[in-house]
Amino acid sequence: MPSGRTHTSCMLRFLLLAIVALLVIYCVVEVAQADRFAVRRAPRWLWATAIICLPLAGAVCWLFFGRPTAESSGRRKRSNFRPSAPDDDVDFLRGL
């Protein structure tokens, strides 16, 4: 090859780029679907901006530092929570 690159090194670069792109897409979708009060250490818009502007570093930081935990996601809290009025019940409001 005239440029000195082998086919394997080109494919390896493409594979790494594809993995980073899929990781960024996964993290952006996860940020968008996360409960805004369950996200840790920063608001959702800041996490989305960090993931898009700093693709690998932002995505890895989201996975380790920003992602909601099982305790903070509210799933466990909602099971013990009894609404005192109909407008406090999320399921009731969703059905309107």
- Between the two ends of the chain, the Cα-to-Cα distance in Å is 66
Query: Which has more confidence, 71 or 72?
Result: 71
From the list 43, 38, 40, the residue with the least C-alpha distance to 78 is 38
The predicted structure's pLDDT at residue 76: 46
CA separation for the pair 83, 81 (Å, rounded)? 6
pTM of the model: 0.68
